[in-house]
Amino acid sequence: MEEYKWLKLKKSIKYAYNTSPFYHDLFKKNNLKPSDIKSFKDMNKIPFTTADDLQEKTKSFFSVPEDKFVTVFTSAGTTGKPKKAYFTKKDIDKIITSTITGLQLMYSITPRDVVRLSFEIGYGAEISGSRYCMNKAYEGIGALTVAPSRLRVEEELEIFKDYKPTIFMDVSSRVNYLTNEMKKIYDLKKLGVKKILIGAEPTPNAMRKFIEESWNADVFIGYGTTETGVLQAGECEEKNGMHLNEFNFFTEVVDPATGEILEDGNLGEFIFTTYDREGMPLIRYRTRDLGRILPEMCPCGLPFKRMVIKGRVDDMISIGAGDNLYTRRFDDILFEIPEVIEYQVILNRKNIKDEITIVVETEIIKDSLRERILEAIMEMPEINSGVLSSKTIEKPEIKLVKPNTFDRNSTKQRRLIDNRNLYD
C-alpha cells in the first residue's frame, strides 16, 4: 500500500506541476520542482492549498481546456462563498466506479436493494456532488433509487410505505428530524429499512443510538468534501472510524497552527492530495476538518487506515475570558437529552460579556426541561468558568420552541450563529 501511494503521489505532483498554472506558479515561487519531493516527509516543502485559493483562482487550477469539463459541483458549507470543483467525464467516471466498489464492499448493496436518497439536488445551477454521484453509483449497481427532492413528513412516510426502501441516505440532521416526526405517526421498525447512510454533518453518539433504535437499522457515517472528489471515507460494520479511500487520495494530518506533519494517532487537521484527477488536481488541500488517523488496523480486515472527525478547526471559538470551545460539544450535550429535536446556539456580546441563547425545538414546553438543559450547558467548563469565575459570560438563556420552527430548506442545519463580530 505504501509503495502504491508513493507512486501515485509522485505521478500526481508531476502532473499538477506540468499542467496546472496554479501549481506550476506555486512551485516556481517556492523554488521547487517535483523531483525535490523524494519522500512522504518532503510533502511539507509544498505550501497548502486553501479554500480561498479555490474561490479566488478557480480556473488557474485547470489542467485541461475548459470545454473538456462536464460538470461543476459547489460546496454546501454553512458559511462563506461556495467553492467550485470542476470535473471531466473521466473524473466523474472514476468517482462513480470507486463509490460502487465501496457500497458493495462495505455495505453489501445489491440490485435487490431499494434506496431512498433524499439529498437535495442543489440550488439553481449548483449541483450537490454527493447526490449526483450516489445516484449514479446506485444506478451502476442496479439498485432502485427513489429520489424525489425532500418532501413533507407525511409524504415522506408514504414513500417508505410504497417503495419499501432497504437503504436510507441523507444528512444526519434530516434523518434525525424525520425520525422524530415519522415515529409519532408510524412504527418505523415496520418499514424494513436495514441500513442508514449519513454524513455531511456531525453525528453525536446519542443521535446515532436514537436513530438506530427507532428504525431497528444500522447507521453508518461517511465523509467527503466536494472540492477533493465528494466521497473519501466510510464506516465498516465495526463503526469505529471511517476507512479512508487510499486508492484515490493521499491523506496527511498536520498541526493546524504550525503545519507540522503529525504521526498517526495525533489530533490535527486533515490534508488531502488527489490521485489521477484529470481536470482539476489538488495538492495538499486544507479541509479545516479536525481529527486523527487511528494507528491500529481495523478488526474488520480492510487494509485501509481509519479516520475520525473531532471537529472543525474553524469550529473552535473563543468564548468568555478567551477559553477555546469546540462547538460540536453542544451536539454531544444537547442530543443526550431525549426531548431535544434540534437546536441553535446564538452568541451575542453586550457590555463586554458574551450572551448565549440556546433555542431548542421540542414538544415539551416546560420549565423543568428548560432547567435540565441549562444544567447540562453549565457543566461545560468553558461556560461554567465564564459565568461563575471570570464573569465574562451571562447566564445562558434557554428558549423552547415547537417542532418545525427552524428552516430546513438548506442542505445543512446551521446550529451556531455567532453575532459577536469578533474579527471585524
Q: Which of 123, 148, 119, 149 is nearest to 132 (CA)?
A: 119
How would you label 289-326 residue by residue, b for 16+ Cβ within 10 Å and e otherwise?
Answer: bbbbbbeeebeeeeebbbbebebbbebebebbeebebb
Q: Which of 320, 326, 323 is nearest to 390 (CA)?
A: 320
Instruction: Report the pLDDT value the prediction gives residue 295, as an integer from 0 to 100.
Output: 93
DSSP letter, residue 49: B
List, in sequence order, the alpha helices (H) in 167-272: 172-182, 205-215
The domain 86-313 belongs to what CATH superfamily?
A: ANL, N-terminal domain (3.40.50.12780)
**Alpha carbons within 13 A on the beta-carbon side of 371:** 3
Contact 287, 71 (CB under 8 A): no
What are the DSSP calls for 326-373, one per residue?
ETHHHHHHHTTSTT--EEEEEEEEETTEEEEEEEEE-S---HHHHHHH
Under 8 Å CB-to-CB from 323, ≥6 apart: which residues? 381, 382, 385, 386
By three-state DSSP, how is residue 110 classified?
Answer: coil
The domain 320-418 belongs to what CATH superfamily?
A: ANL, C-terminal domain (3.30.300.30)
Instruction: Report the pLDDT value the prediction gives residue 120, as an integer from 0 to 100.
Output: 58
Rounded to an integer, what distance in angstroms lies between the CA atom of residue 236 and that of residue 297? 12
Q: Which residues of the chain have pLDDT under 70?
A: 76-81, 119-128, 149-150, 200, 408-413, 422-424
Instruction: Report the pLDDT value the prediction gives residue 379, as an integer from 0 to 100.
Output: 93
**For the chain, domain boundaries:** 86-313, 320-418
DSSP letter, residue 82: P
Rounded to an integer, what distance in angstroms lies between the CA atom of residue 39 and that of residue 36? 9
Contact 304, 5 (CB under 8 A): no
Rounded to an integer, what distance in angstroms lies between the CA atom of residue 39 and that of residue 33? 13
What are the DSSP calls for 298-330, one per residue?
PTT---S-EEEEEEEGGGEEEETTTEEEETHHH
- How are beta strands 249-254 and 268-274 bridged, if at all? antiparallel
- How are beta strands 397-401 and 353-361 bridged, if at all? parallel
Instruction: Report the pLDDT value the prediction gives residue 124, as an integer from 0 to 100.
Output: 32
Work out the angle at residue 181's Cα, subtended by the Cα atoms of residues 310 and 221, and round it to the nearest 5 degrees. 25
Rounded to an integer, what distance in angstroms lies between the CA atom of residue 376 and that of residue 334? 8
